[in-house]
């Protein structure tokens, strides 16, 4: 079923696109990771370390992968010398992703003062401190909106480099002052044209392998799930149950990797949803509901920009479509919804009901099954898929609440499904 699928994109491009999701966390402050990457590359140029370019680019794009809370994002913007756990979270995520594991310590220390980095490898220490400086410059300029290069230089010197110079390596402070002499810097940092901030592709002709694409999906899925204490492991559970439905039904027509990655990334757009909406203990009002419903379209828009992810984007964007046309965002009906998208929909509903949420406690397996069967009666869900769950609802419960990465739990075939 999975033969022949391969993403047609290198790591740099995939990270550039997926960092769109991290940019959504600030809601109004978009392109932060891309501007940090752009400024970081300018600093590397002044330092005369061209071989650092790619690592700076990659680490900058994902340096805030431990930040999924809009509240935490606002705290990071307000305080220059920030101490919190997001750097540790980001480091753990990168350590589990082979292509970026060597940058784990860079991300761990991207808010660590220079004087506290003496025990690190010198290159790692300098890269971490460089990203710290680029991050603070961008946060400052984004909040103050300097109109020209001279204003930006004054702003950065008065509010960052002079009072907080001790946070950074002396040669980085000198490099920042030199970079800020260039009028192009302020134009780039004020630009909303995301592609102007892209680094020329350095991955060469090699595309991501399916295994690395899956690893990248796991990294971002964990970022999404960390947004709320009520959604921990949600994406993993959805992926595990969706794969079980695909295996047990024999109905899937596409590559298994596509279904798994779409399941892992179906809620990518939720990074844009403010925390107070996700964690509201009562019913959402009309405005809040409209904001929440944007997440499926945002997931599709982001994923559609990655070469070879077109089917993944399509499936992820359909995970709230229902067979009777009452779903969103497009109100699709019946056969307009691919069976793979239906796997994700059923898995998403089951997993959400199996978790504590701010407005209710987790439901028992038989209670969830009753709700799914009622959805079949009203024509919203496929009876075949719900019947698979009914044949062993306790096993479905185990998959939905999986504590390991999807694929690690055996998927049981259901005879006669």
What residues are labeled active site?
Answer: 270
Is the dihedral angle over the CA atoms 105, 109, 110, 116 positive or is it negative? negative
Please report how many Cα atoms fall inside a 13 Å half-sphere around the Cα of residue 306, on the Cβ side.
33
Tokens of 116: 């506290």
Nearest residue to 242 via CA among 222, 217, 260: 260
Give the integer Cα–Cα distance in Å for 72 and 187. Answer: 28
Nearest residue to 61 via CA among 227, 260, 202: 202
Neighbours of 195 (CB within 10 A): 8
CA triplet 151, 152, 155: central angle to 5 degrees?
A: 85
Contacts of residue 317, defined as CB under 8 A and 6 or more positions apart, other chains included, come to 296, 297, 299, 300, 303, 329
Terminal alpha carbon distance of the chain: 18
Give the integer Cα–Cα distance in Å for 24 and 18. Answer: 10
Q: Please list, residue by residue across 283-295, b when 16 or more beta carbons sit within 10 angstroms of its beta carbon and e when fewer do.
A: eeeeebeebbbbb
Contacts of residue 73, defined as CB under 8 A and 6 or more positions apart, other chains included, come to 25, 26, 29, 64, 67
């Amino acid at each position: 079923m999975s033969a022949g699928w391969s993403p047609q994109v290198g790591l740099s491009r995939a990270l550039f696109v997926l960092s769109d999701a991290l940019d959504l966390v600030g809601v109004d402050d978009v392109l932060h990771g891309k501007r940090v990457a752009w400024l970081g590359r300018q600093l590397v140029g002044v330092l005369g370390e061209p071989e650092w370019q790619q690592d700076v680019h990659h680490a900058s794009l994902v340096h805030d992968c431990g930040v999924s809370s809009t509240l935490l994002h606002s705290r990071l913007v307000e305080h220059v010398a920030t101490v919190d756990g997001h750097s540790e979270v980001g480091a753990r995520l990168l350590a589990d992703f082979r292509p970026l594991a060597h940058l784990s310590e860079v991300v761990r220390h991207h808010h660590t003062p220079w004087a506290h980095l003496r025990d690190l490898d010198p290159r790692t220490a300098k890269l971490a401190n460089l990203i710290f400086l680029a991050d603070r410059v961008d946060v400052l300029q984004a909040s103050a909106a300097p109109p020209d290069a001279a204003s930006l230089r004054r702003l950065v010197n008065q509010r960052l480099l002079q009072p907080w110079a001790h946070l950074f390596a002396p040669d980085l402070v000198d490099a920042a002052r030199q970079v800020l002499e260039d009028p192009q810097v302020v134009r780039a940092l004020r630009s909303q044209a995301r592609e102007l901030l892209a680094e020329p592709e350095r991955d060469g002709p090699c595309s991501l392998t399916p295994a690395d694409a899956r690893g990248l999906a796991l990294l971002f899925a964990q970022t999404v799930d960390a947004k709320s204490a009520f959604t921990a492991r949600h994406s993993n559970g959805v992926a595990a149950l969706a794969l079980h439905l695909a295996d047990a039904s024999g109905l899937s027509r596409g590559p298994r990797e596509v279904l798994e990655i779409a399941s892992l990334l179906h809620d990518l757009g939720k990074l844009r949803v403010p925390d107070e909406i996700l964690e509201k203990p009562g019913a959402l009002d009309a405005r809040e509901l409209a904001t929440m419903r944007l997440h499926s379209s945002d997931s599709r828009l982001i994923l559609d920009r990655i070469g070879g992810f077109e089917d993944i984007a399509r499936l992820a964007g359909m995970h709230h479509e229902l067979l009777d046309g009452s779903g969103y965002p497009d109100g699709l009906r019946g056969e307009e919804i691919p069976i793979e998208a239906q796997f994700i929909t059923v898995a998403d509903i089951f997993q959400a009901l199996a978790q504590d949420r701010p407005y209710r406690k987790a439901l028992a397996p038989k209670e969830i099954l009753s709700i799914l069967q009622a959805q079949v009666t009203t024509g919203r869900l496929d009876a075949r898929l719900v019947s698979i769950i009914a044949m062993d609802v306790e096993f479905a419960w185990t998959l939905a609440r999986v504590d390991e990465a999807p694929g690690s739990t055996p998927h049981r075939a259901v005879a006669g499904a």
